[in-house]
Structure 1
């Protein structure tokens, strides 16, 4: 299943594109804590999924970080990223790209693009960093 379809199903099921609300509905604990230079991370401890978000970020950065880490929680729940980091960078890049793509699809509604906003204007309106905006897939023709 593609990420765009997965996000569509996720937002329809939970009635929102807010990553904090979706995480809560999926019983994923979201913790805010000082993380220094790190924006956030996802882990599971004793089968409890947790998203950790840097409490020093502004709300827009926290929103994007939550969406990105929710991507890991949904797409990569059982992947041992420390192991991958030690043994192959390529796998980590793919995993990060997929988490970014889920975050972008979740936070930028197709409706904005259908109504004529550029991908970069839509990203700015939705709190998505410009450097990952290109990951947004074009709206489905059936939505027009």
Structure 2
């Protein structure tokens, strides 16, 4: 199953694209806390999926970060990207791109893309509130 299919499958199963509602249905743990030097992170600890999100972010950004960390939860469960980033020379860009793709596939449905098909990337970015690079990434998906 590819990344977009996984996101669409979750949206169908839980009848929502709201990552907070899906996370609740998955019995994962969501922690809002004041984070320093990071916006959010995922941790798999003692068979628990835990997502930490900076409580100071606007709700729209918290939703994106939640969906992004869910991407790590489904795609990179055993990868400790914080450790890899800070303690090794390994490049974690692929993991981050995949998590971004999962988040955008979950948050931006095919119907939303169709609704904005006559718009530029700048216009879609402003309308939906996501960075242009994220809109471009989502538009590359069939």
**TM norm. shorter chain > 0.5:** yes
**1:96-111, aligned counterparts within 5 Å?**
96-111=96-111
* Partner-residue secondary structure (3-state), 1:89: coil
1:107-134 Cα offsets, whole Å, 9 max, x none, are 1111122123435444444443323221
Structure 1 residue runs of 4+, over 2 Å off?
82-90, 115-131, 137-140
2:36 and 2:96 map into 1 onto residues whose CA distance is: 20
Residues 28, 121 of structure 1: CA spacing in aligned structure 2 closer, same or farther, 3 A cutoff? farther
1:45 and 1:77 map into 2 onto residues whose CA distance is: 10
CA contact (8 A) 2:32 2:55 kept: yes
1:104 and 1:131 map into 2 onto residues whose CA distance is: 11
1:13-46 Cα offsets, whole Å, 9 max, x none, are 1111110011111111111000023110000222
* Partner-residue secondary structure (3-state), 2:116: coil
Q: Specify the alignment match of 1:132 in structure 2.
A: 134
CA contact (8 A) 1:108 1:122 kept: no
Residues 116, 60 of structure 1: CA spacing in aligned structure 2 closer, same or farther, 3 A cutoff? closer
Structure 2 unaligned segments of length 5 or more: list them. Answer: none
Q: Specify the alignment match of 2:36 in structure 1.
A: 36
* Partner-residue secondary structure (3-state), 1:52: strand
Structure 1 unaligned segments of length 5 or more: list them. Answer: none
Query: TM (normalized to structure 2)?
Result: 0.86
Q: Specify the alignment match of 2:88 in structure 1.
A: 87
* Partner-residue secondary structure (3-state), 2:69: helix
